[in-house]
Amino acid sequence: METDKAVSVSKLSRHFGKFIAVDEISFEVNRGEIFGFLGANGAGKTTAIKMLCGLLKPTSGEATVAGFSINSETAKIKKNIGYMSQKFSLYDDLTVKENIEFYGGIYGLSREKISGKTDQLISELNLDKMKNSLTKSLPLGWKQRLALSTSLLHDPSIIFLDEPTGGVDPISRRNFWRIIYEIAGSGKTVFVTTHYMDEAEYCNRISIMHKGKIIELGTPTGLKQKYNKTTMQDIFIHIVGRN
Amino acid sequence: MRQIFYLVQKEFRQIFRDFSMVRILFVVPLIQIFILGNAITTDVKNIKIVFQDQDKTPYSREFINRFVHSKYFKITGFEEDYTRLSSYLDSGKASLAIVIPRHFQRDIVLQKKPDIQLLVDGVDGNSAGVSLGYITDIVQQYQERLIEYSPDLSLQVKNIRRVETEPRFWFNPNLESKLYIVPGIIALILLIITLFLTSMGIVREKEIGTLEQLMVTPIRSYQLVIGKIIPFSILGMLEIMISMGFVYLIFGIGVKGSLLLLLFESSIFIISTLGLGIFISTISDTQQQALFVAWFFMIFAILLSGFFIPIANMPPVIQHITRLNPLRYYIVILREIYLKGTTFKDLIPETLAMVTFSTCLFFAAVMRFRKKLG
């Protein structure tokens, strides 16, 4: 099923007992777009992203990711997406090279492809001197870039980033976003959650989640005009405060 | 298939990344076998005994001599003052006091049945019972000798023999508890190592977030389980061989039966410990929790296995519960193969029971694991 929508969500909900984490959200993400998912802590961002990645079953509603249903085709979705969470997801006690080799192997890449990708990544990330060091010895910013690169090993069409820059210094964050732009430039869709409002400016479109619902969706410029504010921060405080 | 290879490779790299794992694999069995093998003993030896000989005749001395020559007793002294005998028991200088009455010899010669007084420290009921048994033996032998050398008895009477038992203990002729305990320790080591490694290994990935990362890859949960099981079973088998090596080096106890059979039975047992480990990982979110829960299960598995407490001594309800414990069967199997050289044919009931419970436990755990991962 080919469509120009990378992600298409319709009335998606997730309840945990009586608590409604995600409340009938609907939206679409275009191919090649950088789509920002904003919201305060506990707004339901992570729950929503987990459902889209096939980590969590929805209570009700439907969504397609890369053209596959999250209710019935999670195995196919997993082959076509990359995922990087706020938790650091590499093995600290493996070397840089071993981590790349491992995730390459898990994604079913051939041996030649793995060694090719490993060399490529290591030179791209300037990790040549560190390739045989344990991953735990890397600075956090580098670790995150490495984690991002390993989640792209299998060349997915959509990449989900769940607060990828949490706890990273501003310069590393900027470098990180440079990479995100490169990824989007190569035709991949980037779906990113964040609560840094400056990062929201970098997105093509953003949605703001509050108490499980999407309360606003549009381009950063469009939202600024609509609310007559100059920064995303002001808009966020205005909208969330109002609700 | 290739995914599983990469999982196993990763697991081994992590396990042997630092030296601590190697240390655990070698030092744990060494210490446990050495210390527990020597410490856990049900043998009662060197029972400290104090005598009061009020008779001081050849007969009484001959009686005491029999204790001197027994390896079970150690004479700590002779006390003249009857009132002070109890102080020996109080202070622990002796756990047994024997009083030979005045006119012991005369009464025997006159066939008047003298009474010997025994004072036994009964705090450790088991040891007290065993020492009483030894004393009964000695008294009986003494009596037989008296009959044999009695000049007044006719040959006919002397030849009357009561029914006697002369036991021969097979497989462990000297009834050394070491022989019995040591195979059990091997089972414990295997239980501890595989149970803890599996549960903690999986929960650790949960903690650091790599498990979530793995779940967004196309990898299937059964592959994940297999990728965990293979390295841990290999480690388990390695551990059992290391343990057997130590048992041979330290105690000189070798396997009487088939080594191959022993390894085969061990692999069935490992299925249950891995299953339990996986189950524990599904109910724990942190490694501390996993450790605690694993400990909880381990204590029950050990206490209800017949390792320390004979199952026959347990209340009937508890006896039935022990039937659900794979360790119970495994310890029996290990002892049988180790000491008797029992062949597979005679171990079929235990093996079947172990296969049943191991696979049930394992598949229930894996089902739960898959459900948890969603």
Chain B residues touching residue A103 (CB < 8 angstroms): 217
Q: Which of residues 1-30 of A touch B (CB under 8 A)?
A: none
Instruction: Render pLDDT for A81-138 as a digit per residue (tens, 0 to 9).
Output: 999 887 778 998 999 999 999 999 999 899 999 999 899 888 888 888 888 899 989 8
Chain A residues touching residue B6 (CB < 8 angstroms): 101-102, 105-106
Q: From CA B151, how far away is CA A41, in angstroms rounded? A: 104
Chain A residues touching residue B13 (CB < 8 angstroms): 94, 98
Number of inter-chain CB pairs under 8 A, A vs B? 70
How close B7 gets to chain A, by Cα (Å)?
A: 7
pLDDT at B373: 73
pLDDT-based confidence at residue A197 (cuts at 50, 70, 90): confident
Nearest to A78 among B2, B13, B216 (CB): B216
Residue A214 lies in a domain: yes
Nearest to A87 among B2, B209, B215 (CB): B209
Number of domains chain A contains: 1
pLDDT at B374: 60
Instruction: Render pLDDT for A171-184 as a digit per residue (tens, 0 to 9).
Output: 888 888 998 999 99
Per the structure, the complete domain to which residue A15 belongs is given by 5-87+158-164+188-242
pLDDT at B293: 95
Residue A114 lies in a domain: no
CATH of the domain at A57: 3.40.50.300
Query: Does A106 contact B216 at a Cβ distance shorter than 8 Å?
Result: no
Residue A116 lies in a domain: no
ipTM of the complex model: 0.86
Query: Does B213 contact A94 at a Cβ distance shorter than 8 Å?
Result: no
Name residue, tokens 């869709």: A189
Nearest to A106 among B3, B13, B212 (CB): B3
Which of A52, A81, A89, A106 to substitute to test the interface with B, most B CBs within 10 Å? Answer: A106
CB-based contact (8 Å) between A115 and chain B? no
Residue A77 lies in a domain: yes
Which of B1, B4, B5, B6 to substitute to test the interface with A, most A CBs within 10 Å? Answer: B6
Instruction: Render pLDDT for A130-172 as a digit per residue (tens, 0 to 9).
Output: 888 999 898 888 888 889 889 989 999 999 998 888 778 888 8
The one-digit pLDDT tens for each residue of chain B (374 residues) are 788 999 999 999 998 887 787 888 888 888 888 888 887 766 777 889 999 999 999 889 988 998 888 888 888 889 888 888 888 888 888 889 999 999 888 888 887 888 889 998 888 877 888 888 888 888 888 888 887 777 766 666 666 666 777 778 777 777 677 788 888 899 999 999 999 989 998 999 988 889 888 988 988 888 999 999 999 999 999 999 999 999 999 888 889 899 999 999 999 999 999 999 999 999 999 999 999 999 999 999 999 998 877 888 888 998 999 988 999 999 999 999 988 888 899 999 999 999 999 999 999 999 998 887 76
Query: Does B14 contact A92 at a Cβ distance shorter than 8 Å?
Result: no
Whole-model pTM: value is: 0.78
How close B369 gets to chain A, by Cα (Å)?
A: 14
Domains of chain B with CATH codes: 2-41+176-373 (no CATH), 47-158 (3.40.1710.10)
Residue A152 lies in a domain: no
Query: Does B374 contact A102 at a Cβ distance shorter than 8 Å?
Result: no
Nearest to A107 among B7, B9, B217 (CB): B217
Q: From CA B114, how far away is CA B64, in angstroms rounded? A: 15
Q: Which of residues 70-89 of A touch B (CB under 8 A)?
A: 75, 78-79, 81, 83, 85, 87-89
Instruction: Render pLDDT for A2-61 as a digit per residue (tens, 0 to 9).
Output: 567 889 999 999 999 899 999 999 999 999 999 999 888 888 888 999 899 988 889 999
CB-based contact (8 Å) between A54 and chain B? yes
CB-based contact (8 Å) between A136 and chain B? no
Kindly identify which residue of chain A lies nearest to residue B214, measuring between CA atoms: A106
Is the confidence at residue A1, as pLDDT, over 50?
A: no
Asked if residues B334 and B184 have their Cβ atoms less than 8 Å apart, the reply is yes
How close B221 gets to chain A, by Cα (Å)?
A: 11
Query: Does B213 contact A56 at a Cβ distance shorter than 8 Å?
Result: no
Q: From CA A91, how far away is CA B215, in angstroms rounded? A: 15
Q: What is the mean pLDDT of residues A207-232?
A: 89
